[in-house]
Amino acid sequence: MAVNLYQNVTNQILASLEAGVAPWVKPWSATPGRNMPANAATNRPYSGCNVILLWQLSGIYATPRYLTYKQASDLGGHVKKGERGFTVYFVKPMTAKPKEGEEAGKGFTMMRAYTVFNVDQCEGLPARLDTIEPVKPRHDDMRDATIEEFIQTTGANYSETGGDRAFYSTGADCVRMPTFESFKSAALYYSTAFHELGHWTGNAKRLDRQFGKRFGDKAYAAEELVAELTSAFLCAEFDIDGRLQHADYVANWIALLKDDARAFFTAASAAQKAADFLRQAALQDIAIAA
C-alpha cells in the first residue's frame, strides 16, 4: 500500500514536469501572505511534498487553508455536498521489534494518506478560519531589507563577487553571487540566492546531505532538486516570484523520479529541512544580537 502512495504522488509530479510545468514555480508576489498552505483548525503549516501538492491548487482557491471532514464537523461546519477532497500524506518513523540477538529493531517509515478540503469547500465554519489579513508587498525590483537581513543572519559565507555565475563552493564552503544589478529582477536575484543557500545547508558541518549511496549517478540531480525546492519554499514565504533555476535539469529529475518512486519525497523532505535550517539559523542570530 505504501509503495502505491509514493507512486501516486510521483506520478502527479512527473505528469507536471513532462508537461513542461514545475509545480513549485508560482507568481507568489501576486498573493502576499497567502502562499504557504496550513491546516485551518490547528494553523500548522503543511511541509515537504504536501506543500507542493497543495500549491497546485493555488489558482483555484483564494485561501490556502485546509481541513479534514472531521475537523470541519468538529468546528461546527461541514463540507459542501458534492465537493471532492485532496490527498495529503503523513510519513511516520517506526521501529520494528528487535529480532533475536539484536539490541534494537530496525527503523522504517509508514505512510498514511488523508483527505482534506479547502475552507472554500465548506460551510458553517467560524469566520476566522478563512480570513487572512492582507499583506502589503514589501518589494519591487529594489533590494529588500528583510530578505537581505535574512540572508546575512543565516551565517553563510555569502558575497557578491561579480562575474556571470552564482554558485556554492563545497571546498571553500561559500556562496558567491553576481552583483544584484546584473540580474533582470530582484525576484531572480533572491530566488537564485535561496537556491545556492539551499546547497550551503548540505555541507557536512550542517545537514550533511549525502545522496551518493541512495541515488548513485543521479545524486547530483537529487541535490539540485533539493536546492530548487528550498528556493521555492523561501520564495513563497517571502512573496517572491519563483524561478526555475536549472531548466536543463528537468529531464534529469524526470529520470530520477521514474527510477525511484520515493525520490520526490526524499528531496521535498530534505528541502524542508534546509529551509527550516536557514530560518532557524537566522532566528538564532537575531536572538543573539538582541
Per-residue pLDDT of 260-273, as tens digits, reads 999 999 999 999 99
Q: Report the pLDDT value the prediction gives residue 132, as an integer from 0 to 100.
A: 64
Q: Report the pLDDT value the prediction gives residue 282, as an integer from 0 to 100.
A: 65
d(CA 75, CA 7): 33
Residue with cell 533582470: 184
Q: Report the pLDDT value the prediction gives residue 62, as an integer from 0 to 100.
A: 85
Q: Report the pLDDT value the prediction gives residue 143, as an integer from 0 to 100.
A: 94
Give the mean pLDDT of 154-170.
Answer: 93
Give the mean pLDDT of 261-289.
Answer: 84
Residue 1 has pLDDT above 50, yes or no: no
Amino acid identity for residue 209 in this structure: R
Amino acid identity for residue 90 in this structure: F
Looking at every residue in the chain, the average pLDDT score rounds to: 89
Neighbours of 105 (CB within 10 A): 12
Helix axes 250-259, 263-289, angle to 10 degrees: 120
Residue 118's DSSP bridge partners are 66
User: Measuring CA to CA, how many Å separate 106 from each of 95, 101, 102, 109, 260?
Assistant: 6, 13, 9, 10, 22
d(CA 269, CA 6): 13
Residue 89 has pLDDT above 80, yes or no: yes
Q: Report the pLDDT value the prediction gives residue 139, as an integer from 0 to 100.
A: 60
Give the mean pLDDT of 30-34.
Answer: 85
- 8 A C-beta contact, residue 66 and residue 39: yes
pTM: 0.88
d(CA 208, CA 226): 13
